[in-house]
Amino acid sequence: MKILYEKPPVYDRIVKAIGTPPEGAIYTYGDTIYVPSGRTPDKALITHEETHSLQQGNYPEVWWNRYLKDVEFRAEQELAAYRMQIEAVKRTTRDKHKRGAALEHMARAMSGPMYGNVISYLDAWKAIGGYA
């Protein structure tokens, strides 16, 4: 995937639909990862965004339209991406503390305002880490 260190083409629509994302947020539109913060994402983050790229296929605009309007769709798509991300973390470390901290962060992000508080923290924790 390509990486561009700028805001994605859908940024203004994200702000309008969900709110202003955190400073460190990264985005995928088609085969491109957008990183406005300028800080290179690690492999696990790229895995998360690669999942979104696969979800979008050849129709990123259609995907984003639904993502911004359909809360259940948004939650479903993000959970799938976080599941891939936690698996990527597991491949990089066997340290249970690091894995646990990563899962906590993901569950917190998943249940937070970045996606519109679409799920509780506990449900997100179970869905991301407890599915396997």
Partner 1 sequence: MTQRLPTYVVEARLVLLTDIEISAENFEDALARGKDLAIKDFVDIKGNHNDSAFEVVSVSKKDGWRLTR
**Choice between 58 and 97, CB closer to partner 1:** 97
Per-residue tokens: 18: 């969900």
- By CB under 8 A, name the binding residues for partner 1: 14, 21-28, 37, 39-45, 48-49, 52, 78, 81-82, 85, 92-93, 95, 97-98, 100-102, 104-106, 108-109, 114-115
**Choice between 16 and 39, CB closer to partner 1:** 39
Could you tell me if 42 and 48 are in contact, meaning their C-beta atoms sit under 8 angstroms apart? Answer: no
Closest approach, Cβ 12 to partner 1, in A, equals 14
Closest approach, Cβ 132 to partner 1, in A, equals 19
Closest approach, Cβ 58 to partner 1, in A, equals 19
Q: By C-alpha distance, which of 48, 113, 112 is closest to 82?
A: 48
Per-residue tokens: 93: 């470390």
- As a whole number of angstroms, the distance between CA 69 and CA 64 comes to 9
Per-residue tokens: 121: 């923290």
